[in-house]
Amino acid sequence: MTLPVSLRAGGILALFVGVGLAAVALVHEQTRERIATAERQVVLDRLAAVLPEGHDNAPEDQVYQRPTPLDHDTPLRIYPAYAGDEYLGAAVEVETPEGYAGTIRLLVGLDADGRVLGVRTVAHRETPGLGDAIETARSDWMYGFDDRTLGDPPEDDWRVRQDGGQFDGITGATITARAVVDAVREVLIDYTAEPEAYRGVDQAEDGTAVDPEADGHSDEGPTG
C-alpha cells in the first residue's frame, strides 16, 4: 500500500528532525566534555602554584569536600599535601558569590601552620581590564596574600583598605577585591579553628570523598 504524500513527507521530516536533534545532543556532550577537561587542567595548573613544595602524594586524587564557611551552599574542595606521613598543608578550592559579575572560584594554598602559600583564580566573570586583575597573568595583585596568616594582618584587618583593612583594592573593581579578600579570610578562620579537618577525608568529621573528575561547582568558565 502506498502511503499518502503528506504522510511520507511527514515521516521524512520527522527523520530529519530526529537526526538533527541527535547531532545537537552529540555536539553538546562533546563540548561539555571539552570544557570539563579544560577546567580540570586549569585546576591542576593552579594547584602546582599553591601546594606546599616537597609533597610526594597526589592531592588531586585525594580531594574531598567539607561545608564552606562562607554564606552559601557550595562546599570547599580540599587537596591535602603530604611528604610520606608528614602533613605539609593543603590547597583549598573555595567559591564566593560576591564577585561583581557573579561567582569567583579560588584556590588558596596553606602550609601546615596556616600560612598562605599562594592564591590563584580558577574561574570568574569579572570585568575585563578591571576585575580580571585577580588573574596573575594580568596583575600582581594576588601575590599580596603570599606569606600572610590570620595574625598577619590581624583578623579585623583582613579587609580591603576601603573597608578599613590592610589589603589594597583594585582600581575600578573594589567589589571584586573585597570578595576575594573576604573569601581568603574565611578560609583562614576555618583552617585555624579546625586544622585537622584539612588533613584528609578520614580526619574531617564533616568531610566527604568526591570523584576527582567531577566538577561539582558553579557554571563559571575556567580562567585562561
In a domain? residue 176:
yes
In a domain? residue 159:
yes
According to DSSP, residue 76 is labeled E
- pTM given for the model: 0.81
In a domain? residue 135:
yes
Q: Which of 33-47, 120-134, 201-215 has the lowest mean pLDDT?
A: 33-47
In a domain? residue 188:
yes
Average pLDDT score over the chain:
88
In a domain? residue 76:
yes
Structural domain of 71: 48-209
Please state the domain count of the chain: 1
In a domain? residue 126:
yes
In a domain? residue 72:
yes
**Position 7 pLDDT exceeds 80:** no
In a domain? residue 21:
no
